[in-house]
């Protein structure tokens, strides 16, 4: 069945496959190649949505990406529900299901339309003024209600099942727009051999040639030339032609973001196709050929369904073969609309009349219209369009006033002229300039290596457009380094011109009128609203825009900005450029989150780093915790154990027998060169020159301001080689910090840094049995206390593979850290584990590690320090070389406030009740009865139950803490106050005998 408004007299879809679509539950016949808008219009459906604020019935305004009205939901399945899709952009496929938005209970009868009647309440800025009282109601009543009743489509409520592809691309010349200008420029550039990418947002190239049927290029119909040129370009190895691809953002250094819609137009995209492909293109030169967007006329009722741009009416006819009406009125201030009237008349529609603001329009198109018998009402204005769910009549009078005449119509085409599409130019930080002769903004000063050609730079005729474009294409290729010039020739002819038009409200929609003459359809802003903004004191377009929301909808004011500016300028009695033009920002049209998030979801949201022992730990039942990007074994619960029980057992086992711990995530840096020790002297507070090869030292690194930045054990492997360890979290930044100083402050030193964090996997074996466990596996290292005392490092073999064996401890027990090359790690772990089993050892996780080190008062940088703690504050004065004359932070440490009394110092805290475990972060006060706000003395930094001590233990920073030993302080909590005693940092084996025992 053929749809009622489909004509055979025009259009390019003849012979296309018929498909079925549904809109709000009703089924309609469509043709492949239709947009949802053209398919509905073919069936006589003009009502496609309700407006944002007033819920007014709306149809299509345009036939393209600028569409502000016909926004619908596209529902593919339960998870694929895309809101706010422009019906003028969505291509049909068999089974397409679309629903209207912002209406209840139905599109034709919408309760929300009461807002239209009550519209005086909802004038511009109403929400700043109306809902002021009571203040508390804004959050609880007004805002939620306004948000629920205003607004557009509903966001999908299920995770996005689609995938999105990504591509970085590079080219000599990037052409944005595939109309006559873009194609000519691309061709000229491509024929020099330049690498060219040309992108167009439509399913096929052609731009305005889609509707401008009177154009001839290289002796072919314009549209046919465009398609042939695209085929020719696509066949060239140096050219990529991207259709359905929108350039949405123009960023620094000619980086342009494109989004290609790969499968939204397909009935069954299958599993493999991405929904969209994001292109991030870096171009040596960019040619902007984005054309122009037709402006509507601003008059009362210009938003009735059936009222649309002349170019839209012409596109629906000449491309889709759809008559937008059978008795069509036209309202214009330029010649363009005449071409639409002529095309429609010739296709069999009757033209009720052409209402032309101009007193004496003249030219070939006007002559042709007259010759076809079309009534031309020149020097007249259209004061009102009437109709309920569709336009039914237009009311006309002389521009100067006088009697009105009402003419029945079923569609109304309008044209106020063309606005050059300077969005991308403006996004490139180019400055637009006002051309006062034509009252439009054109590209002025360029900020990047780009050029605008064709209608977007104000060229009004096709012949000039292609001539300029060819020259621009050749010039861009040359600038990009291509020497060859081929002399591409493209010749175009047309009888049409895009010059002329008007800006602002039409006569009849002036300050003295009361009708709703829409400027911004999507945000429901009328000419009256703009004038109100000026009356309320807004002087700059930036203020007018924010007060009225003109141009702030998702269509970014493509049709409304210039009218809004003109009306504001008139009300202010100023010229348009004095009031200003808002800056265009990305995205040009809405971009899905999916394409921007792209691969970075699920397993690719962020890298998950696992140590070489991960599988072994999993096998032992480890529970893992996230430490930065790492998965670290947290604790190893056995049957029936909760975390508390597991950690208690692990802590006790380490001190009784031994524990096996994965320390691989610690950062490691190999510092190599004859000046290695000199460099270490400068980076750490400790002295290094005299450290013997084979020995280790605990080092503290400061920032320039004297505060602790990182810490770790450093082993000296040779006179010119150190094996430095850092905290897990500090690995990358410590490396950068050291490299930064080496390159900028100490470039005279002969030393190099290499990250070896992942070269060496590390198994810590800690506890009285540690040596017994390891010794049988080790070759070539004497592990006796005499030969290998605490804080020493040896190179040899373990399990037949190389090892750097450290004797060191973060538990206070005799301990070793076995470094092995990572690919061998799992095998070594298995061997160590088997040995450990013989000696009653267990695996322990990061939680037990934390408890064990706290029992010994060993700090964790970032937990017990917070970037405001000096070595002195932390009780680590001993680690600062007293004789040293220089290291990073040495001057910071001498700052008066860092040596003053009363600094917060790290101390131990013993709760009076040994069973009470303090909360980390809890505040500490001297007098819990003082009025709130209390004077805080510090806070708890580390707190645990210690099975080894049989009580709770805690560390905290306390003002003047070292002088408060034995004092009782208080930790106020919501339900009680906890008494604590200030004690030393060490809770277990205070003399440190077990390190050697």
Residue 693 interacts with other proteins (CB under 8 A): yes or no:
no
HEC sequence for 184-234: HHHHHHHCCCCCEEEECCCCCCCHHHHCCCCCEECCEEHHHHHHHHHHHHH
Q: Which residue number, 702 or 762, has a Cβ lying nearer to other proteins?
A: 762
Residue 674 interacts with other proteins (CB under 8 A): yes or no:
yes
- DSSP strands (E only) in 338-449: 350-356, 376-378, 380-386, 393-398, 405-408, 411-415, 418-420, 431-435, 440-445
Beta carbon of residue 420, minimum distance to other proteins (angstroms, whole number):
32
Q: How many CB atoms lie within 10 A of CB 32?
A: 16
Hey, which residues between 317 and 376 contact other proteins (CB under 8 A)?
none
Q: Which residue number, 199 or 532, has a Cβ lying nearer to other proteins?
A: 199
Q: Judged by CB under 8 A, which of 641, 758, 979, 989 binds other proteins?
A: 758
Could you give the string, one character per residue 3-42, with x where binding to other proteins holds by CB under 8 A and - elsewhere? ----------------------------------------
CA–CA separation, 854 and 863 (whole Å): 11
Q: Judged by CB under 8 A, which of 351, 506, 828, 954 binds other proteins?
A: 828
Residue 592 interacts with other proteins (CB under 8 A): yes or no:
no
Could you give the string, one character per residue 797-816, with x where binding to other proteins holds by CB under 8 A and - elsewhere? --xxx---------------
Q: Which residue number, 234 or 926, has a Cβ lying nearer to other proteins?
A: 234
- What is the Cβ-side half-sphere exposure of residue 978, based on CA atoms within 13 angstroms? 25
Beta carbon of residue 686, minimum distance to other proteins (angstroms, whole number):
23
CA–CA separation, 221 and 223 (whole Å): 6
Residue 169 interacts with other proteins (CB under 8 A): yes or no:
yes
Tell which residue, 229, 232, 185, 226, has the closest CA to residue 206.
226
Q: Judged by CB under 8 A, which of 752, 862, 928, 962 binds other proteins?
A: 752
Hey, which residues between 264 and 303 contact other proteins (CB under 8 A)?
272-274, 277, 280, 282
Hey, which residues between 715 and 734 contact other proteins (CB under 8 A)?
none
Could you give the string, one character per residue 179-208, with x where binding to other proteins holds by CB under 8 A and - elsewhere? ----------------x-------------
Q: Which residue number, 400 or 608, has a Cβ lying nearer to other proteins?
A: 608
Residue 211 phi/psi, 5-degree rounding, is -115, -25
The interface region with other proteins, picked from 46-54, 55-63, 754-762, 864-872 by CB under 8 A, is 754-762
Identify the residue whose tokens are 């990047």: 448
Identify the residue whose tokens are 């711990």: 661
Could you give the string, one character per residue 595-624, with x where binding to other proteins holds by CB under 8 A and - elsewhere? ----xx--xx-xxxxxxx------------
Q: Judged by CB under 8 A, which of 821, 881, 892, 992 binds other proteins?
A: 821
Q: How many CB atoms lie within 10 A of CB 597?
A: 14
The interface region with other proteins, picked from 451-459, 478-486, 570-578, 747-755 by CB under 8 A, is 747-755
Residue 273, SS3 per DSSP:
coil
Q: Which residue number, 619 or 996, has a Cβ lying nearer to other proteins?
A: 619
Please, are residues 223 and 318 in contact by the beta-carbon 8 Å criterion? no
Beta carbon of residue 171, minimum distance to other proteins (angstroms, whole number):
9
Residue 535 phi/psi, 5-degree rounding, is -65, -30
- DSSP strands (E only) in 826-883: 842-843
Residue 161 interacts with other proteins (CB under 8 A): yes or no:
no
Beta carbon of residue 798, minimum distance to other proteins (angstroms, whole number):
9
CA–CA separation, 920 and 910 (whole Å): 14
Could you give the string, one character per residue 767-786, with x where binding to other proteins holds by CB under 8 A and - elsewhere? ----------x---------
Residue 630 interacts with other proteins (CB under 8 A): yes or no:
yes
Element at 571 (helix H, strand E): helix 561-572
Kindly state the number of chain residues that form the binding site for other proteins, as judged by CB under 8 A: 55
Tokens of 601: 């979801």
Sign of the dihedral defined by the CA atoms of residues 510, 512, 514, 520, in that order: positive
Beta carbon of residue 783, minimum distance to other proteins (angstroms, whole number):
17
Residue 839 interacts with other proteins (CB under 8 A): yes or no:
no
Tell which residue, 374, 377, 383, has the closest CA to residue 344.
374
Identify the residue whose tokens are 């096998």: 619
Beta carbon of residue 675, minimum distance to other proteins (angstroms, whole number):
10
Q: Which residue number, 80 or 163, has a Cβ lying nearer to other proteins?
A: 163
Burial category of 991 from C-beta neighbours within 10 Å (exposed 0-12, middle 13-18, buried 19 and up):
exposed
Q: Which residue number, 734 or 978, has a Cβ lying nearer to other proteins?
A: 734
- What is the Cβ-side half-sphere exposure of residue 395, based on CA atoms within 13 angstroms? 16
Residue 113 phi/psi, 5-degree rounding, is -65, -10
CA–CA separation, 824 and 612 (whole Å): 9
Distant-in-sequence, close-in-space partners of 129: CB < 8 Å, separation ≥ 6: none
Q: What is the DSSP string of 879-929?
A: GS-TT----TTTTGGGSHHHHSTT-EEEEEEEESSTTPPPPTT-EEBS-TT
Distant-in-sequence, close-in-space partners of 373: CB < 8 Å, separation ≥ 6: none
Residue 239 interacts with other proteins (CB under 8 A): yes or no:
no
The interface region with other proteins, picked from 201-209, 639-647, 669-677, 805-813 by CB under 8 A, is 669-677
Distant-in-sequence, close-in-space partners of 747: CB < 8 Å, separation ≥ 6: none
The interface region with other proteins, picked from 572-580, 780-788, 823-831, 914-922 by CB under 8 A, is 823-831
CA–CA separation, 672 and 947 (whole Å): 43
Beta carbon of residue 755, minimum distance to other proteins (angstroms, whole number):
7
Identify the residue whose tokens are 């009256």: 528
CA–CA separation, 907 and 702 (whole Å): 20
The interface region with other proteins, picked from 167-175, 286-294, 836-844, 868-876 by CB under 8 A, is 167-175
Q: Which residue number, 149 or 755, has a Cβ lying nearer to other proteins?
A: 755
CA–CA separation, 691 and 678 (whole Å): 12
Q: Are strands 623-627 and 760-766 parallel, antiparallel or unpaired?
A: unpaired
Beta carbon of residue 604, minimum distance to other proteins (angstroms, whole number):
6
Beta carbon of residue 195, minimum distance to other proteins (angstroms, whole number):
8
Q: Judged by CB under 8 A, which of 8, 140, 406, 754 binds other proteins?
A: 754
Altogether, the residues listed in the chain come to a count of 997
Q: Which residue number, 575 or 750, has a Cβ lying nearer to other proteins?
A: 750
Q: Are strands 18-23 and 96-99 parallel, antiparallel or unpaired?
A: parallel
- What is the Cβ-side half-sphere exposure of residue 905, based on CA atoms within 13 angstroms? 22
Residue 757 interacts with other proteins (CB under 8 A): yes or no:
yes
What is the Cα 203 distance to its own chain's centre? Answer: 26
Q: Which residue number, 478 or 609, has a Cβ lying nearer to other proteins?
A: 609
Beta carbon of residue 268, minimum distance to other proteins (angstroms, whole number):
15
Please, are residues 67 and 79 in contact by the beta-carbon 8 Å criterion? no
Beta carbon of residue 412, minimum distance to other proteins (angstroms, whole number):
43
Beta carbon of residue 137, minimum distance to other proteins (angstroms, whole number):
45
Q: Judged by CB under 8 A, which of 824, 884, 925, 951 binds other proteins?
A: 824
Q: Which residue number, 611 or 948, has a Cβ lying nearer to other proteins?
A: 611
Beta carbon of residue 595, minimum distance to other proteins (angstroms, whole number):
13
Q: Which residue number, 348 or 800, has a Cβ lying nearer to other proteins?
A: 800
Beta carbon of residue 666, minimum distance to other proteins (angstroms, whole number):
13
CA–CA separation, 112 and 601 (whole Å): 38
Query: What are the residues binding other proteins (CB under 8 A)?
Result: 163, 165-170, 195, 262, 272-274, 277, 280, 282, 599-600, 603-604, 606-612, 630, 670, 672-674, 750-752, 754-760, 777, 799-801, 821-828, 830-831
């Amino acid at each position: 069945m053929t749809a009622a408004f489909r004509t055979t007299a025009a259009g390019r879809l003849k012979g296309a496959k018929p498909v079925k679509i549904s809109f709000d539950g009703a089924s309609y016949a469509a043709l492949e190649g239709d947009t949802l808008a053209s398919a509905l219009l073919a069936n006589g459906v003009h009502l496609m949505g309700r407006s944002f604020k007033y819920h007014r019935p709306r149809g299509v305004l345009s036939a393209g990406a600028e569409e502000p009205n016909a926004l619908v939901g596209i529902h593919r399945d339960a998870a694929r529900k895309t809101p706010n899709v422009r019906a003028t952009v969505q291509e049909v496929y068999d089974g397409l299901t679309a629903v209207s938005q912002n209406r209840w209970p139905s599109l034709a009868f919408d309760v929300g339309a009461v807002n239209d009647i009550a519209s005086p309440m909802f004038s511009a800025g109403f929400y700043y003024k109306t809902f002021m009282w009571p203040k508390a109601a804004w959050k609880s009543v007004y805002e939620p209600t306004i948000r629920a009743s205003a607004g557009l489509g509903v966001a999908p409520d299920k995770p996005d099942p689609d995938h999105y592809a990504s591509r970085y691309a590079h080219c000599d010349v990037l052409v944005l727009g595939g109309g006559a200008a873009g194609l000519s420029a691309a061709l000229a550039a491509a024929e020099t051999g330049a690498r060219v990418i040309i992108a167009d947002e439509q399913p096929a190239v052609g731009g305005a040639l889609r509707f401008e049927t009177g154009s001839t290029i290289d002796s072919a119909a314009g549209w046919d030339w465009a398609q042939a040129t695209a085929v020719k370009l696509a066949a060239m190895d140096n050219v990529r032609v991207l259709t359905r691809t929108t350039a949405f953002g123009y960023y620094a250094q000619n980086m342009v973001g494109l989004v290609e819609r790969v499968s939204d137009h397909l009935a069954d995209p299958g599993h493999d196709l991405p929904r969209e492909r994001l292109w991030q293109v870096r171009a040596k030169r960019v040619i902007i050929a984005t054309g122009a967007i037709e402006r509507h006329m601003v008059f009362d009722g210009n938003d009735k369904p059936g009222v649309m741009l002349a170019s839209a009416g012409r596109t629906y006819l000449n491309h889709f073969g759809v008559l937008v009406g059978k008795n069509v009125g036209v309202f214009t201030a330029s010649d363009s609309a005449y071409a639409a009237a002529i095309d429609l008349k010739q296709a069999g529609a009757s033209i009720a009349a052409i209402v032309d603001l101009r007193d004496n329009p003249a030219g070939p198109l006007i002559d042709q219209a007259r010759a076809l018998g079309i009534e031309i009402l020149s020097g007249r204005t259209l004061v009102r369009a009437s109709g309920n769910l569709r336009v039914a009549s237009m009311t006309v009078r002389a521009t100067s006033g006088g009697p009105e005449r009402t003419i029945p119509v079923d569609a109304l085409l309008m044209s106020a002229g063309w606005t050059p599409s300077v969005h991308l130019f403006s996004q490139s930080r180019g400055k637009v300039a006002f051309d006062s002769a034509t009252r439009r903004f054109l590209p002025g000063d360029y900020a990047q290596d780009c050029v605008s050609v064709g209608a977007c730079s104000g060229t009004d005729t096709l012949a000039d457009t292609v001539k300029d474009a060819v020259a621009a294409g050749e010039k861009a290729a040359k600038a990009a380094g291509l020497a060859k010039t081929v002399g591409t020739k493209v010749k175009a002819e047309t009888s049409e011109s895009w010059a002329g038009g008007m800006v602002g409200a039409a006569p009849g929609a002036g300050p003295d009128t009361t009708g709703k003459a829409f400027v911004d359809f999507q945000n429901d802003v009328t000419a009256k609203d703009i004038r109100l903004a000026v009356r309320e004191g807004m002087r700059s377009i930036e203020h007018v825009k924010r007060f009225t929301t003109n141009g702030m909808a998702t269509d970014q004011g493509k049709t409304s900005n210039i009218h809004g500016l003109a009306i504001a300028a008139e009300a202010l009695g100023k010229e348009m450029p004095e009031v200003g033009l808002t800056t265009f920002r990305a995205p040009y049209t809405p971009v899905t989150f999916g394409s921007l998030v792209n691969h970075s979801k699920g397993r690719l949201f962020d890298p998950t780093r696992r140590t070489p022992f991960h599988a072994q730990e999993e096998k032992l039942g480890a529970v893992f915790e996230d430490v930065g990007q790492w998965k670290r074994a947290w604790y190893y619960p056995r049957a029936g154990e909760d975390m508390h029980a597991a950690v208690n057992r692990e802590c006790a086992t380490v001190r009784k027998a031994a524990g096996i711990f994965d320390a691989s995530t610690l950062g490691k840096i190999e510092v190599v060169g004859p000046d290695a020790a000199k460099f270490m002297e400068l980076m750490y507070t400790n002295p290094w020159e005299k450290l013997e090869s084979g020995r280790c030292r605990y080092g503290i690194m400061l920032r320039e301001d004297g505060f602790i930045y990182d810490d770790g054990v450093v082993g000296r492997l040779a006179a010119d080689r150190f094996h430095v360890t850092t905290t897990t979290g500090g690995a990358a930044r410590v490396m950068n910090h050291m490299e930064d100083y080496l390159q900028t402050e100490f470039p005279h030193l002969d030393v190099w840094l290499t990250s070896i964090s992942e070269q060496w996997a590390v198994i810590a074996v800690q506890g009285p049995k540690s040596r017994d466990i390891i010794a049988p596996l080790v070759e070539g290292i004497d592990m006796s206390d005499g030969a290998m005392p605490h804080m020493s490092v040896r190179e040899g073999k373990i399990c037949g593979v190389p090892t750097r064996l450290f004797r060191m401890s973060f538990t206070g027990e005799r301990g070793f850290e076995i470094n092995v090359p990572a690919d061998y790690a799992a095998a070594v772990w298995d061997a160590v584990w088997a040995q450990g089993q013989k000696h009653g050892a267990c695996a322990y996780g990061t939680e037990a590690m934390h408890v064990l080190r706290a029992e010994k008062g060993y700090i964790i940088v970032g937990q017990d320090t917070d970037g405001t703690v000096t070595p002195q504050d932390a009780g680590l004065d001993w680690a600062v070389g007293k004789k040293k004359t220089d290291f990073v932070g040495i001057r910071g440490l001498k700052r008066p406030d860092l040596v003053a009394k009363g600094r917060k110092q790290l101390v131990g805290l013993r709760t009076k009740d040994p069973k009470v475990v303090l909360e980390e972060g809890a505040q500490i006060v001297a007098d819990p009865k003082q009025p709130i706000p209390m004077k805080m003395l510090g806070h708890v930094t580390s707190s645990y139950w210690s099975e080894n001590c049989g009580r709770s233990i805690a560390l905290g920073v306390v003002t003047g803490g070292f002088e408060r030993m034995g004092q009782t302080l208080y930790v106020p909590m919501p339900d009680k106050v906890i008494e604590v005693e200030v004690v030393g940092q060490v809770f277990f084996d205070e003399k440190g005998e077990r390190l050697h025992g």
